Structure 1
Amino acid sequence: MPTPRSTRHFTGKEALVVAYLEREDQMIRALWNEGLGRTVSADHALEMAIEGVADDAYRHHTRGCPFIKAAGEFPDPESPVRQVIRRHRAWFHAELRRLLAEAGRDDVDAKTETLAMLRDALMIGCFLDDRDVTRRTFVRTARRVAGLR
């Protein structure tokens, strides 16, 4: 999260956090699209998505998920911060759902929910626990859920 001194350029902390999360969302979407742009099959796209999520948590978000942290600071579900979080999570779920459907998986909704929950656990685990163990556990479990060998 940005430091409190950064609020001098915004109307308040909430506006600062909204701007920060919107920037994070844009960067994550760009990385996602870049990674998936190099895929050769639906299964490969699932592989790339799982590896991309794992790499992001392992390399870039080692202090936890900014969306999860912001949700803790702004509990009102109608706040602008929570609206940004809701849009980001809806996009992520939709992308997972699309990849699973394109790969011909059954029970796409349940698999989407499970993969999203695993991603949340990965982000927290890379912050609190051993990043190597957390990453390996996420990749192994996510591959199993996605039906990859």
Structure 2
Amino acid sequence: MSRDTGGGGSTSAARSRLLTTATRVFYAEGIHSVGVDRIIAEAQVTRATLYRHFTGKEELVLAYLGQADLGIRAQVEAARAGEETAVGEVRAVARSIADGIRSPGFRGCAFLNAVAEYPDPAHPVHRAVLAHRQWFLDTVTELLARIGDAPADGDGRHLVMLRDGAMAAGCLFDPELVCETFLRGVEDVVRSRGA
């Protein structure tokens, strides 16, 4: 966890600038390709300020992924809100994923991108990616279990794989075609559950 001392507005503002800068450049260019000197320069803070808030780059990467995790959880909850059925919730979550793929500057899944750079399963970044993915798998499996009577584990994994494929393809090919294929695949999963 970060070592934010919480000592007033400037401390919070500096930490926020560091995290905002790291998020932008890590997502756009990759984690290993960006050094702390660049983050310090672009965030307009001193090296001492960086180390006051984060023990080093790894902790900054973990904070970046933590922020991404919170954002995706909020996106999923917002998509589910107001839906009256599990089928509606699954479709709304899928549409929110498609909207993300269509968004300007889309560069794939932050978590898949990060795990490609941290392949060691024991590394804290790799473990953070796995924790996020387990939450997402659990969430969609729980939603799918509310549709039909069959066990939903396989369908949950199928939906996650559809999402992963769409996230990878969305920054390589026409996002509209990718999203159309992804949403059609989600509909196939929903129909296979008897909806």
TM-score after normalising by structure 1: 0.90
Q: Is the 8 A contact 1:32 1:52 kept in 2?
A: yes
Q: Which residue of 2 aligns with 1:42?
A: 86
The count of corresponding residues between Structure 1 and Structure 2 is 149
The correspondence for 1:6, drawn from 39, 42, 60, is 39
Residue matched to 1:17: 61
Q: Quote the offset at 1:139 in angstroms.
A: 0.4
Stretch of structure 1 that moved more, 2-11 or 114-123: 2-11
Which residue of structure 1 lines up, in the alignment, with residue 44 of structure 2?
Answer: none
Distance of aligned partners of 1:27 and 1:61 in 2 relative to their CA distance in 1, 3 Å threshold: farther
1:4-48 Cα deviation digits (max 9, x unpaired):
322652333322211111100001101111111110112111111
Percent same amino acid among aligned pairs? 34
Shift of 1:136: 0.4
Partner of 2:144: 100
Indicate the RMSD between aligned Cα atoms, in angstroms.
1.9
Higher alpha-carbon Rg: 2
CA separation in 1, counterparts of 2:190 and 2:122? 33
State whether structure 2 residue 114 is matched by structure 1 residue 70.
yes
- CA distance in 2 between counterparts of 1:41 and 1:74 reads 38
Shift in alpha-carbon separation, 1:28–1:60, aligned structure 2, 3 A: farther
- Contact 1:64/1:127, CA 8 A, preserved across alignment: yes
Q: Quick check: 1:52 aligned with 2:96?
A: yes
Q: Does 1:115 align with 2:159?
A: yes
Structure 1's 49 and 38: CA in aligned 2 closer, same or farther, altered over 3 A?
Answer: same
Structure 1, gaps ≥5 residues long: none
Q: Any idea what the Cα deviations from partners look like across 1:39-83, whole Å, max 9, x if unmatched? A: 011211111111112112222671111111111111111111011
| Runs of 5+ consecutive residues of structure 2 not aligned to the other structure | 1-25, 28-33, 41-46
TM-aligned CA distance change 1:60 to 1:17, over 3 Å: farther
Change (3 A) 1:81 1:61: farther
Task: Compare relative contact order (CA 8 Å, sep 6+) and give the higher one, 1 or 2.
Answer: 1
1:83 and 2:127 matched:
yes
**What's the counterpart of residue 138 of structure 1?**
182
Q: Verify the 8 A CA contact 1:118 1:138 in the aligned structure 2.
A: yes
Match of 1:147 in 2: 191
Tell me, yes or no, if the aligned pair for 2:91 and 2:186 is still in contact at 8 Å: no
- Higher helix proportion (structure 1 or 2): 1
Question: How far is 1:104 from its partner?
Answer: 2.2
